[in-house]
């Protein structure tokens, strides 16, 4: 509910792969401890502020204790006794890419039923009560490439809650009544995706860019309506298990005791089916999909295929993206589109790698009568960046920002453990956190430019626009436009 | 959709803040623990700015929340959204940050104000001249190009970003305006110095292009979003006299005629160090930073103009149910709001707990009966303190009807559930569970330094005492099942209710 309004859309700051380009004309940064001038001399008004430079911050990456259960689950402990709290999170390889064709949304529905459908000897109602009487927040969810399950509780309750967690994961009941409710709720939720331009363009973007791949599929009311209780059970049995899974335990715990309990609860869990290999997705671009919707703010997504996880270009592209559209107020896109012209409230770019090639996306919105100008400026900024990359000064400033903001990962042990666990789950080296800053600092102007150029020079881009009907003719100036009447229909491609 | 209102946030501080000074073991935490000694260092600087410092040793970052007890409800008549517009302008720099030469820039800004005023005057005429408006728009564009030559875009943000600033943002609610940032802990001096300059010598440059940005924000958040539209309709229908009837972002026609001089005048009336609060949470030591604060933020002068007098119109009692229908191309949604008292009225606390009993978790009444049981809704939630909590506000219940069920049939089912509580009350077990939920949500929702800083600053600036952070749970613990029954009967009545329906327009 919108009772607060911000200077900037907060989502702009949420990606690990984002932000920052800095044009600090006139600001002197000193490498040594001392006083530095923050700005040019003033003329007749206030004096320029002075900031004392401080010694560099020494950040120690804490020791994560890593153990492996007999079943193969890797357990990562980060002990923190500051608070009487524990957070547990399990990541299992798989995700919505495993949804069978025609039953898209099955993985998501399975995770809802896992939590809501009762477990072990407990009926759904009794299971809910067992958790909620202790204010335990337990959940299960799905992402494109993973299933997650976890909970948060007071540390004194952990010995009693862990068996409930194991029951949910290993002995779910998938109660038929709860299945029916979860299915109806899921269908309703999916059908509401067409209600907002943001959500409906997200679905279309994924379909258009990751065509012919399970990575681009999305649930529809029809695909969900075909799912039966037995399908959920079968899907669960085939795909939930310990192989490749990582369990994070953070907080006020006795590691030995927790490890022993985990071994007794999960040690004999048998491995799930092996994951298939996925071919690279293909874009339907160059193409424009236009969804007519009577709204006063047009939503626009532009994108191309991005990088595969662990691509050597990963960090150079992150740095380049920081400069282009990932750094909030100070990015090139934000300067040109918001600050200079007032064309948008927000515009940003993100790079998201998958186990196949991921996505590179520019997201923004503008009023209907300025769509043409917004797109012209956006294409101009992208083309310029693809041709010449960042300036040396932009690069240095971005590197400094990314290195400095690294401290933010250490704000709380819980946030740090979440981040570290996702790195481990996704196969990043153990010393990723220790070496990240040096890798960012080592990126050269040529490397950043080349990473940006390789991505932005791709010709098969997709552009998704949702806005009033009359926009269609404006969009034709930018390429072939296909009108979409339902996000659940297959997309028409260019001949 | 349930949101814990800001006063809720405070309890989490009890645990988290204690963590910094007196770690609790799990064994030490019992339901009876409530009188925590929150180790906040409180200091009033020489200019009256209240500073709250919570040290968290070993944390390599420090979060700041600079809160002014001025919000959207303080906007002058015909200038709704001005406090929010001012918040945007505070990112535009100072006389030395964001410009190549303020001396060269100032005459251009003054000229822009004249053109903007003439544009407003022309638009106010019964028959505005299109030619005149076009000429003024051309003139403004020319001035903007000229201004472009001397401005350094977003430089204030760039300074912070380059120094590792995260969550550089601000928000305006009905009750307060807040400026946040989290920096590496060794950048304290940078913050103090930049903020001294920002508060002492702000320049509201690029005002008229930023006005367009705010208009875009309104179109995006409110006009193109079914939930945004519905909640705005609920506010403006439920309140007929209280300033809460106007949206925090402002009405579009007001936004588009806001003037830079309005923002300057409002700034001087309302952004006073002696009314503001700065909360600092993170890896810093109070003894080290207080002298720096005295030399920097402590030097920001209080304006010579008299402060804005708060004179909010009180909402009269509602004497009959109101309804409003909003047409939007989306599946149906319903929001209903009952008037309730503002914090810290004891009835408000009882309504907080009732909200939890109704919709938090699968075991809550409405989830059990209406979602899992009768399958009338696909989602349902409640919240208190909407759209603010410094003035009497609303207890809000929102739901998405399940296909095949009319909104009114669901409203009747909700009425029956409420009647049951009004007649038979709630159980002690329900009350205990709600209390534990509230405690837990506080605890987990607020472990970050940034949230801690905002909670402290909000309670001090808006409620007058950061100690509500620690008192809130004591107040909740004192409630009995009868208190819950009483507020259900007194407030959740049809005469006191407004219902907002979102419906798809007929094609």
Peptide bond into B344 cis (omega under 30): yes
Residue in chain A closest to B97 (alpha carbons) equals A39
In whole angstroms, give the CA distance from residue B149 to residue B142. Answer: 11
* Closest by Cβ to A293, choosing from B27, B219, B329: B329
- pLDDT, one tens digit per residue, over A41-71 is 344 456 677 777 777 788 888 889 999 999 9
Inspect the interface and report whether the beta carbons of A83 and B443 lie closer than 8 Å. Answer: yes
Separation of first and last alpha carbons in chain B: 29
In whole angstroms, give the CA distance from residue A289 to residue A472. Answer: 10
Inspect the interface and report whether the beta carbons of A133 and B436 lie closer than 8 Å. Answer: yes
Q: Structure tokens of B501? A: 């329906």
Average pLDDT in the B448-466 region? 93
Task: Flag whether residue A123 sits within 8 Å of chain B, measured between CB atoms.
Answer: no
Number of H helices, E strands in chain A: 16, 15
Mean pLDDT estimate for chain B = 90
Residue in chain A closest to B87 (alpha carbons) equals A7
Higher per-residue confidence, B325 vs A211: B325
In whole angstroms, give the CA distance from residue B239 to residue B447. Answer: 35
Residue in chain A closest to B150 (alpha carbons) equals A25
**3-state class of B403 per DSSP?**
coil
Task: Flag whether residue A201 sits within 8 Å of chain B, measured between CB atoms.
Answer: no
Residue in chain B closest to A62 (alpha carbons) equals B58
Question: Which residues of chain A neighbour B436 with C-beta distances below 8 Å?
Answer: 133-135
ipTM value for the complex: 0.88
CATH code of the domain occupying A287-483: 3.30.830.10
In whole angstroms, give the CA distance from residue A323 to residue A327. Answer: 6
Angle, helices A392-404 vs A432-442, to 10°: value is 160
Residue B20, pLDDT score: 29
Task: Flag whether residue A46 sits within 8 Å of chain B, measured between CB atoms.
Answer: yes
Contact A301, A208 (CB under 8 A): no
**3-state class of B450 per DSSP?**
helix
**3-state class of A50 per DSSP?**
strand
Task: Flag whether residue A30 sits within 8 Å of chain B, measured between CB atoms.
Answer: no
Report whether pLDDT(B335) > 50: yes
Q: Structure tokens of A383? A: 């083309």
CA distances from B342 to A67, B315, B390 (A): 51, 12, 6
In whole angstroms, give the CA distance from residue A114 to residue A122. Answer: 13
Q: Which fold has domain A65-266?
A: Cytochrome Bc1 Complex; Chain A, domain 1 (3.30.830)
In whole angstroms, give the CA distance from residue B334 to residue B244. Answer: 20
CA distance A340 to chain B (A): 8
Within 13 Å, how many C-alpha atoms sit on residue B456's CB side?
Answer: 31
Inspect the interface and report whether the beta carbons of B27 and A156 lie closer than 8 Å. Answer: yes
Residue A4, pLDDT score: 57
In whole angstroms, give the CA distance from residue B250 to residue B243. Answer: 11
- pLDDT, one tens digit per residue, over B82-97 is 999 999 999 999 999 9
Residue where the block lists tokens 């402002």: B250
In whole angstroms, give the CA distance from residue A165 to residue A168. Answer: 5
Task: Count CB pairs under 8 A between chains A and B.
Answer: 328
* Closest by Cβ to A296, choosing from B163, B167, B223: B223
Choose from A18, A21, A49 for mutation: most chain B CBs within 10 A.
Answer: A49
In whole angstroms, give the CA distance from residue A179 to residue A113. Answer: 6
- pLDDT, one tens digit per residue, over B120-168 is 999 999 999 999 999 999 999 999 999 999 999 889 999 998 898 988 8
Report whether pLDDT(B2) > 90: no
Inspect the interface and report whether the beta carbons of B196 and A49 lie closer than 8 Å. Answer: yes
Residue A54, pLDDT score: 74
pTM: 0.89
Residue B15, pLDDT score: 26
How is B73-87 classified by DSSP, letter by letter?
GGPPTT-TTHHHHHH
Task: Flag whether residue A31 sits within 8 Å of chain B, measured between CB atoms.
Answer: no
CA-angle at A409, arms to A405 and A415, nearest 5°: 155
Task: Flag whether residue A341 sits within 8 Å of chain B, measured between CB atoms.
Answer: yes
CA distances from A485 to A200, A217, A404, A425 (A): 11, 18, 46, 39
Choose from B162, B163, B212, B285 for mutation: most chain A CBs within 10 A.
Answer: B162
The pLDDT-based confidence of B26 (bands split at 50, 70, 90) is: very low
DSSP B367: I
Q: Structure tokens of B70? A: 């001025």
Rg (CA), chain B: 25
Question: What is the CB neighbour count within 10 angstroms for residue A249?
Answer: 25
Domains of chain B: 50-299 (3.30.830.10), 322-503 (3.30.830.10)
The pLDDT-based confidence of B428 (bands split at 50, 70, 90) is: very high
Separation of first and last alpha carbons in chain A: 44
Where do the structural domains in chain A lie, given as residue ranges?
A: 65-266, 287-483
pLDDT along chain A (495 residues), means of 10: 48 27 25 34 59 77 93 96 91 98 97 98 98 95 98 95 98 98 97 96 97 93 98 98 98 96 98 96 96 95 98 97 92 92 91 97 95 97 97 96 90 92 96 94 98 96 97 95 96 81
Same fold, A65-266 and A287-483: yes
Question: Which residues of chain B neighbour A126 with C-beta distances below 8 Å?
Answer: none
**B213-245 core/surface letters (b: 16 or more CB in 10 A; e: else):** bbbbbbbbbbbbbbbbbbbbbbbbbbbeebbbb
CA distance B307 to chain A (A): 24
Inspect the interface and report whether the beta carbons of A189 and B87 lie closer than 8 Å. Answer: no
Chain A 362-381, residues with CB within 8 Å of chain B CB atoms: 365-367
Nearest to B119 by CA among B212, B208, B205, B251: B208
Choose from B20, B161, B329, B502 for mutation: most chain A CBs within 10 A.
Answer: B161
Contact B462, B6 (CB under 8 A): yes
Phi, psi of B322, rounded to the nearest 5 degrees: -115, 150
Asked which of A51-60, A175-184, B212-221, B293-302 is least confident by mean pLDDT, the reply is: A51-60
Provide the percentage of residues in chain B whose pLDDT is more than 90: 82
In whole angstroms, give the CA distance from residue A484 to residue A493. Answer: 11
């Amino acid at each position: 509910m919108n009772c607060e309004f911000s200077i900037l859309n907060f989502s702009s700051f949420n990606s690990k792969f984002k932000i920052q380009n800095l044009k600090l004309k006139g600001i002197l940064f000193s490498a040594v401890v001392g006083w530095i001038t923050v700005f040019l001399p003033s003329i007749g008004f206030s004096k320029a502020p002075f900031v004392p430079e401080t010694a560099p911050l020494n950040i120690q990456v804490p020791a994560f204790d890593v153990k492996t259960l007999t079943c193969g689950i890797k357990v990562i402990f980060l002990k923190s006794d500051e608070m009487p709290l524990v957070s547990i999170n399990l990541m299992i390889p798989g995700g919505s890419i495993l949804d069978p064709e025609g039953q898209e949304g099955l993985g998501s529905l399975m995770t809802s039923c896992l939590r809501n459908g009762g477990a072990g000897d407990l009926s759904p109602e009794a299971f809910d009560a067992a958790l909620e009487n202790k204010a335990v927040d337990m959940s299960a969810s799905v992402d494109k490439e993973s299933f997650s399950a976890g909970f948060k509780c007071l540390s004194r309750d952990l010995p009693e809650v862990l068996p409930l967690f194991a029951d949910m994961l290993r002995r779910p009941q998938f109660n038929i009544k709860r299945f029916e409710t979860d299915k109806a709720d899921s269908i309703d939720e999916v059908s509401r995706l067409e209600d907002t331009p943001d959500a409906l363009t997200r679905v279309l973007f994924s379909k258009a860019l990751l065509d012919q791949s399970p990575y681009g599929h999305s649930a529809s009311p029809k695909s969900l309506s075909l799912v039966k209780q037995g399908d959920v059970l079968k899907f669960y049995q085939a795909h939930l298990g310990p192989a490749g899974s990582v369990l994070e335990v953070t907080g006020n715990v006795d590691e030995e005791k927790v490890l022993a309990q985990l071994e007794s609860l999960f040690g004999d869990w048998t491995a799930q089916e092996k994951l298939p290999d996925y071919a690279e997705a293909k874009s339907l671009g160059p193409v424009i999909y236009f969804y007519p919707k009577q709204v006063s703010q047009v939503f626009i997504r532009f994108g191309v295929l991005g990088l595969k996880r662990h691509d050597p270009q990963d960090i150079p592209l992150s740095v380049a993206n920081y400069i282009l559209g990932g750094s909030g107020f100070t990015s090139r896109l934000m300067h040109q589109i918001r600050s200079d012209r007032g064309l948008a409230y927000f515009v940003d770019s993100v790079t998201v790698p998958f186990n196949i090639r991921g996505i590179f996306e520019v997201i923004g919105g503008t009023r209907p009568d300025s769509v043409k100008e917004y797109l012209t400026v956006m294409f101009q900024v992208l083309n310029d960046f693809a041709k010449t990359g960042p300036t040396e000064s932009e690069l240095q400033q971005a590197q400094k920002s990314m290195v400095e903001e690294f401290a933010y990962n250490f704000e709380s042990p819980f946030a740090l453990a979440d981040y570290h666990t996702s790195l481990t789950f996704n196969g990043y080296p153990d010393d990723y956190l220790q070496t990240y800053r040096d890798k960012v600092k080592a990126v050269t102007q040529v490397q950043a430019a080349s990473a940006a150029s390789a991505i932005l020079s791709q010709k098969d881009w997709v552009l998704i626009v949702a806005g009033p009907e009359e926009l269609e003719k404006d969009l034709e100036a930018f390429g072939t436009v296909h009108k979409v009447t339902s996000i659940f229909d297959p997309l028409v491609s260019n001949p | 959709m349930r949101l814990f209102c800001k006063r809720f946030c405070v309890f989490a501080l009890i645990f988290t803040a204690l963590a910094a000074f007196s770690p609790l073991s799990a064994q030490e935490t019992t339901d009876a623990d409530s009188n925590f000694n929150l180790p906040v260092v409180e200091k009033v600087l020489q200019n009256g700015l209240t500073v709250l410092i919570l040290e968290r040793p070993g944390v390599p970052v420090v979060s700041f929340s600079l809160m002014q007890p001025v919000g959207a409800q303080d906007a002058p008549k015909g200038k709704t959204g001005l406090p929010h517009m001012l918040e945007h302008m505070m990112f535009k720099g100072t006389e030395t940050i964001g410009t190549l030469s303020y001396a060269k820039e100032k005459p251009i800004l003054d000229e822009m104000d004249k053109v903007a005023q003439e544009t407003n005057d022309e638009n106010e005429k019964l028959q505005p001249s299109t030619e005149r408006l076009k000429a003024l728009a051309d003139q403004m564009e020319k001035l903007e190009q000229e201004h472009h030559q001397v401005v350094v875009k977003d430089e204030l943000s760039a300074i912070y970003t380059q120094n590792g600033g995260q969550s550089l943002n601000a928000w305006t609610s009905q009750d307060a305006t807040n400026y946040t940032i989290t920096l590496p802990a060794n950048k304290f001096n940078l913050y103090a110095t930049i903020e001294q300059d920002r508060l002492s010598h702000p320049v509201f440059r690029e005002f008229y292009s930023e006005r367009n940005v705010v208009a875009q924000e309104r179109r995006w958040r409110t006009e193109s979003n079914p939930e945004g539209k519905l909640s705005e309709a609920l506010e403006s229908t439920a309140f007929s006299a209280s300033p809460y009837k106007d949206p925090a972002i402002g009405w579009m026609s007001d936004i588009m005629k806001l003037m830079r001089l309005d923002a300057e005048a409002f700034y001087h009336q309302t952004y006073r160090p002696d009314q503001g609060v700065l909360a600092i949470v993170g890896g810093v030591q109070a003894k080290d930073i207080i002298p720096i604060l005295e030399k920097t933020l402590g030097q920001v002068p209080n304006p010579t103009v008299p402060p804005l007098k708060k004179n909010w119109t009180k909402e009269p009692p509602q004497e009959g149910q109101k309804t409003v229908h909003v047409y939007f191309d989306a599946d149906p949604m319903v929001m209903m709001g009952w008037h309730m008292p503002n914090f810290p009225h004891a009835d408000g606390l009882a309504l907080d707990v009732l909200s939890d009993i109704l919709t938090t978790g699968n075991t809550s009444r409405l989830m059990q009966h209406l979602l899992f049981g009768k399958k009338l809704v696909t989602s349902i939630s409640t919240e208190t303190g909407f759209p603010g909590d410094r003035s009497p506000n609303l207890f809000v219940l929102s739901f998405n009807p399940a296909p095949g069920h009319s909104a009114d049939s669901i409203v009747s089912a909700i009425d029956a559930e409420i009647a049951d509580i009004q007649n038979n009350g709630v159980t002690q077990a329900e009350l205990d569970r709600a209390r534990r939920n509230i405690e837990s949500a506080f605890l987990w929702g607020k472990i970050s330094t940034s949230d801690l800083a905002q909670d402290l600053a909000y309670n001090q600036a808006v409620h007058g005492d950061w100690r509500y952070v620690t008192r809130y749970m004591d107040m909740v613990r004192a409630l009995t099942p009868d208190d819950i029954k009483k507020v259900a009967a007194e407030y959740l009545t049809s005469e006191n209710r407004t219902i907002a329906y979102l419906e798809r327009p007929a094609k």
